[in-house]
Each structure stands twice: as C-alpha cells, then as structure tokens.
Amino acid sequence: MRRIPINIYEYAGQILEQLPKGILLSTSADGKMDTMVIGWGTMGTDWGLPVFTVFVRQSRYTKVLLDKNPEFTINVPLKDADVRRIIGFCGTKSGRDYDKFKEMDLTVVPGEKVSAPAIGQFPITLECKVIYQQDQDAAAIPAEIKKRYYPTGDYHTAYTGQIINAYLLVGE
C-alpha cells in the first residue's frame, strides 16, 4: 500500500467524528502486535506539538505492549467503510487470547516512523510517540462517573503521543 501524507488538521474533524463510533489503537513490542478499539481520546496541541491522547485501562494487553514500547498508531476508517465486524471483535477480545490481525484478516502495514503497525482497512493513520503518561487519580473522578465507568476500579492510564507522521493508505 502507498502512503499519501495528510495534514492532521484537515482530517481532525473526520477523526474526532469517528472516535465515539470506534477507531483502533495499535501497538507492538517484543515481536507481538495488538490493536484495541478506543472510543475516547483527544487530539490537539500540547507544548506546541500535535498530539493524540489515548486512555488505556490498566487491565488491557495493549497497555502491557505500550509500556514496553511507547509508540502507537491511531487507525481510522473512511466515513463510508463498514468496519462493524472488526470493531465488534477487536473491542471485545483480548490480544492475550487472540491474534486480532489474523482473526479479522487485517492488512498489516509496517509503520513508517514507529514500530506499531498501520492497518489497511483503517486507512487514516497517525503515528505517535508517547511524550507523557499519567495514571488516573481515582480520588479526582466524580462519583457518578466512577460508578458508571469504573465499577470494578479498572482505571485508565492516559498516554499523550506526539503525532510524528500522518498519512492515508491507498491501493494494494
């Protein structure tokens, strides 16, 4: 597949519109890859740098890989793509138990500036290097949010990744 460089600010609306429907966060470490569905995240500017911040629960296999190798890709489908089956599988199965890339026949495209993969079926790709991370402070989260999103106490770590490359995957 070919990479066509994109201006992240021109694609920001499309990325953020797709986010609550589900996009993929992909990681790689120790010869293993994983991808997970995220529906929360922020895109913007921190310290004068373009960034994407993701939130990964403490229990996730993706967190294990991300802590070993602080690089990730954000993989976003095009507006008209039907990726419900992929989102459904990757959002409910753990990379500890399944090779999601194999199970869903995902097209793995090596990252250009990071070791995490891009995914052909989700052609809008942001390559990110973690520049900051922080575990959530449970005491600072309002009670109603804790009750709804953290009934088991499985909090998130926020990873802020500097967007170091952005492109659209096209062709075969």
* The predicted structure's pLDDT at residue 172: 66
Over residues 14-34, the mean pLDDT reads 94
Is 80 a residue whose pLDDT tops 90? no
Instruction: Return the structure tokens found at 75.
Output: 């993989």
* The predicted structure's pLDDT at residue 86: 92
pLDDT in tens, 105-164: 999 999 999 999 999 999 999 999 999 999 999 999 999 999 999 999 999 999 999 999
**Cβ-count burial 106-142 (b if 16+ within 10 Å, e if not):** bbebebeebebbbbbbbbbbbbbbbeebeeeeeeeee
| C-alpha span between 152 and 154 (Å, rounded) | 6
Residue with tokens 């949010």: 145
Instruction: Return the structure tokens found at 64.
Output: 């294990």
Nearest to 111 by CA among 70, 150, 165: 165
Rg (CA), the chain: 15
pLDDT tier at 82, thresholds 50, 70, 90: confident
Task: Tell me the pairing of strands 49-57 and 42-46.
Answer: antiparallel
* The predicted structure's pLDDT at residue 100: 93
